[in-house]
Amino acid sequence: MKFMSKLSKDVLVGILLISCTIGSLIFANSPFGASYQGFWNHSVGGHPLSHWINDGLMAIFFLLIGLELKREFQEGELKSPKHAILPIAAAIGGMLFPAIFYLGFNWGLPSQNGFGIPMSTDIAFVLAIIAILGSKVPKSLKVFLTALAVFDDLGAILIIAIFYTSDFSFIYLAFTLLLFGILFFVSRFSKPKTVKGEKTLLFFLLSAGICLWILLMKTGIHATISGILVALLIPSHSYIKTSVATTPVLTPAKRLEHRLHNPVYLVILPLFILANTAIPLHDVFPQSQFNFNNITQIINEPHVAGIASGLFFGKPLGILSGVFIAVRFNWARIPQDLRFNHLVGAGFLGGIGFTMAIFVTSLSFSEQALINSAKLTILLVSLTAALVGAIILSINSKRNYPL
């Protein structure tokens, strides 16, 4: 029990996801590899099981992300524009530079569509590493990294909605907007004053969210975006009156966020990792030979070089550049307890793409060979970036930020 009490939930989530990744890779390359891959490709309702995880369950993940975004903007560190500018600038730089690095290797090639892969950061792993480092990470850096990841997620959502849309249908888009408008009206003007009334409204909105999911899928926009739309509809204010003035009342949005956290991070994300990291190495390395020439050949592939350089070099350079510009133009100030190594370490932690990068990979490529080599690159580079970032943050530097 003492051991469990010392480990925060963030650390446990990180350990769970890493374990799922290692286990999935082992199974995929074991004598049971074909059966293991066949399980995730098994048809359910006319679609492979992995499709229902990537397009269905991940919509719930995006619902949780949307609720967290909403809370941060309404009452968190991002409520004040002044506090939000520094992580916004860092997030923009941290998305632009990796995309530029990637396109530098892939411009004009069929793999060009993968520019969104190195742009996103995996908040679950970042928070796990912060929790492990403990007191070595200043509180202001935790706030900065959390806010950075929040804006990074928002940017990833916009990238998916805009650039990873196929067979777009304006008719279904019109139906989607009409339904969203009706639900917004219902959510805005419904003021339930009992717990039962709030639960009824919440059940109605979540049920209607399934309809939004179906319509978005017909529209051509990735259906997981429906999670964000539903999050916008969930009321962030409660009209229930308590007998004691000091008794806090959980709003429907907070109540749903609390209930979703464990299922998403302990069930949905592990399932996503298991289904999407079943990478047979013999499909990545020619002739199943792990020699220097084959490894060099993989590294020299444009999409691999683009992902690796984008995550490992583009992310830290972009984040630091965003901070530099924001400070130079007096848009924001760096907290006094942050040192140069803190910002550099944060930049490398931003290179942990993992879940979101793997998710975008499945949207970017259709060839399985490209998908497998891209996923393997993401895993290796994310691990390297995590180690480098953690080491840098562990350095007891007293050097002030030079700006």
Place of tokens 């209607």: 208
Q: Stretch 170-177: mean pLDDT, rounded?
A: 89
pLDDT in tens, 380-400: 899 899 999 988 888 765 555
Q: Stretch 304-325: mean pLDDT, rounded?
A: 93
Taking the CA atoms of 270, 273, 275 and 280 in sequence, report the sign of the dihedral they define. Answer: negative
pLDDT in tens, 339-372: 878 889 989 999 988 888 888 888 888 888 888 8
Which pLDDT does position 2 carry in this prediction? Answer: 41
Which pLDDT does position 100 carry in this prediction? Answer: 95
- Whole-prediction pTM: 0.77
Q: Which residues, 6 or more positions from 278, have their beta carbon under 8 angstroms from its beta carbon? A: 24, 25, 27, 28, 33, 36, 37, 40
Quick check: 273 pLDDT over 80? yes
pLDDT in tens, 216-226: 888 877 778 88
What is the C-alpha separation between 45 and 48, in angstroms, rounded?
8
Which pLDDT does position 242 carry in this prediction? Answer: 63
Q: Which pair of tokens denotes residue 318?
A: 């972009």
Q: Stretch 210-232: mean pLDDT, rounded?
A: 86
3-state secondary structure of 350: coil
pLDDT in tens, 95-121: 999 999 999 999 989 889 889 999 888
Computed over every residue of the chain, the mean pLDDT equals 83
Residue (of 239, 248, 260) closest to 191 by Cα position: 239
Quick check: 171 pLDDT over 50? yes
Query: In the chain, what percentage of residues exceed pLDDT 90?
Result: 23
Which pLDDT does position 287 carry in this prediction? Answer: 55
Task: Please count the CA atoms within 13 angstroms of the CA of 373 that sit on its side-chain side.
Answer: 26
Residue (of 106, 22, 101) closest to 316 by Cα position: 101
Q: Which residues, 6 or more positions from 94, have their beta carbon under 8 angstroms from its beta carbon? A: 119, 121, 148, 152, 315, 318, 319, 322, 347, 350
Q: How many residues does the chain have?
A: 403
Quick check: 8 pLDDT over 70? no
